[in-house]
Structure 1
């Protein structure tokens, strides 16, 4: 336990905020969780449910600048843009695309690996004794390609994973069919990635973790936080729902909605929503053995409690606009192509917001110039995967401990000035 017990206000009750709260409580601190909609209301509910330890290669790989325009005009590609949003997006997009090169891809992958590389173990440690353990399913993961040539087109990404110790096996022909019989015959090549896992119901999992925070003496407040209270350069609380909640430290972990509070703290973090979509097929006629990334459509098929979830797509359109129809239709077509014999009782849709920084690396650490104010967001496609490690780092920093890793890569100060 830390020498000084603090009252920490954690703004955001998704996987990062709830993980931070649990690790703070284990270190002896008092915690108040504040969220506008309650636990697991956003991306922590709607994600692919994958503990993707090997998903360290960012979207901004070499060649993206050349591919992106063609993808935007192809209705069968998983990249969408609301054109009316383009003027607002452009400053962020120019910085984002500036990292689409080999050197930056390797640097980003190294930073991500240190957050997500032990994801299954991190989740098991987080959930131990909380009642949420039941949703953690350690298992392998499949990446499905049309054929070997399709796979070899991703050679650079696989070389980066291999350099970081990610273990995988190539499967072709009969070996692929033996591993996964639910896929279309058009999918002729697969990569079985070891030491991964899934959460069989992400929403229920995060809600159970939040319930544990309350059971351990934490407070859950459903309200919108409008400001961080500061006195003499120190964060002393938040204004939420018209009232002030006082504390000794504040953590902003609101995912894609974190930008406003960060600006109030003097930091203009370049943050955008990579809008993601999912379809769920309830009582499906067939279920994959493991989660499957269908490489041609850049979406994941994940077995969940009573249903199969297909999650993916990137759409740039900001936080305000409602869902677009085209991404749902693309997902529908892609699932039909990957699993042509699939039948189901009911289908449901969801759209949510992945928080993405321009350099694809999360923001984790204390705000420069404001003691006691901490940020934890920006995990783009790997928020569920990296939530527990991020929460543990933040709890250590708040408790005056020094994590045994290079935190400068995640520091909020990299966007200062």
Structure 2
């Protein structure tokens, strides 16, 4: 319990916002969740559902500059661009691609490990006593390759994981098929990581956590936030829905929509939407034993309640454009290649927005020059994985405690506007 309970307004009711609320309540604070949508919508509903602790290697690995043009022009690759958006994307893209080197990749992976490296335990700790525990399912996470040579072609990323403490079992041919026989025989090699997990229904999970926040006295307000009120450089409230909601501190965790309010606080965050797609196959004829990453298509197949969810497409096209057809078609083709015998009763398409800072590292911490303002966004495609740890770190920082993780890499001060 905090010695001085405060009223904390949290703008954003996805996994990061709800996690922050729960950890603040456990610390004795009053919380107000503010979002234009109901809790658990957006990316917190539509993610891949894997507690992917090992997903620390950013997209901007060595060789991306060489590969990206060909990927964009190849409809079989999981990278898409709405070409009319390119002029607006270009300044962010230049900054993003500057990190496509070995040194920056290692630095980013180290920072991400501090947020997602123990995700299963983080979710178990978050959900304990909330009624949402049953959605957290311990599971392996398996990367699938055509053969060992294809696996070894990814040696840089796997070497990084090894250096950061991750361990895995390698399965060839018959050993892999004995583990899970539902995949094509063209998949001849698997790397199995233990101590991972999955969420059996991500949207329902976050909604259940949010109901717990309410049951513990938290308030949920459906409104769009337009800014923070300050007096003498100290946050006094959040402007939302035409009203001023008084608070002692405010946390901005709005995902891909965070840039506007963050920039009002004196920052210049290079943030883009990493548009993500999923395809849900309901009542599948066969269900994989564990979540898998099919490396050839860079997509995840995750068992969930009543359906198999496919996710992993990356598209740049901003926050306003509707979904494209090609990413869904690619997911269908890829799963039919990976699981030729798979059939299903019906399917559901979804597209949403993941917050992508140009340096691939989330912003977590206090805003310089605005006492009582905190940020927690920018997790790219690992927001569900890192949500509980991010919320716990924010609660600790708000209480003035020193976390047991070095939070320097996540500091919002790295994006302070220059004169």
1:77 Cα deviation after fit: 0.2
1:405 Cα deviation after fit: 2.2
- Equivalent position SS for 1:323: coil
Whether the 8 Å CA contact 1:16–1:376 is kept in 2: the answer is yes
1:210 Cα deviation after fit: 0.5
Other-structure match for 2:9: 9
Gaps of 5+ in 1: none
Q: Distance in 2 between matches of 1:202 and 1:131?
A: 14
- What per-residue deviation string (whole Å, max 9, x for no partner) do you get for residues 73-95 of structure 1? 00000000001100111111011
Counterpart mapping for 1:298-309 below 5 A: 298-309=298-309
- What per-residue deviation string (whole Å, max 9, x for no partner) do you get for residues 308-364 of structure 1? 000111000000000001111111111111111111111110001111111100000
Other-structure match for 1:381: 381
Other-structure match for 1:356: 356
Whether the 8 Å CA contact 1:167–1:195 is kept in 2: the answer is no
1:262 Cα deviation after fit: 0.5
Q: Distance in 1 between matches of 2:197 and 2:301?
A: 13
1:102 lines up with 2:106 in the alignment: no
Other-structure match for 2:294: 294
- TM-score after normalising by structure 1: 0.99
Q: Distance in 2 between matches of 1:334 and 1:173?
A: 20
Whether the 8 Å CA contact 1:2–1:400 is kept in 2: the answer is no
- What per-residue deviation string (whole Å, max 9, x for no partner) do you get for residues 34-86 of structure 1? 01011011000000000011111100000000000000000000000001100
1:275 Cα deviation after fit: 0.4
Other-structure match for 2:85: 85
1:2 Cα deviation after fit: 1.5
Other-structure match for 2:155: 155
- Equivalent position SS for 1:409: helix
Other-structure match for 2:72: 72
Other-structure match for 1:49: 49
Counterpart mapping for 1:287-366 below 5 A: 287-366=287-366
Q: Distance in 2 between matches of 1:355 and 1:189?
A: 32
Whether the 8 Å CA contact 1:13–1:35 is kept in 2: the answer is yes
1:376 Cα deviation after fit: 0.1
Other-structure match for 1:401: 401
CA RMSD of aligned residues (A): 0.6
Q: Distance in 1 between matches of 2:75 and 2:46?
A: 23
Equivalent residues, number: 417
Other-structure match for 2:238: 238
Whether the 8 Å CA contact 1:166–1:194 is kept in 2: the answer is no
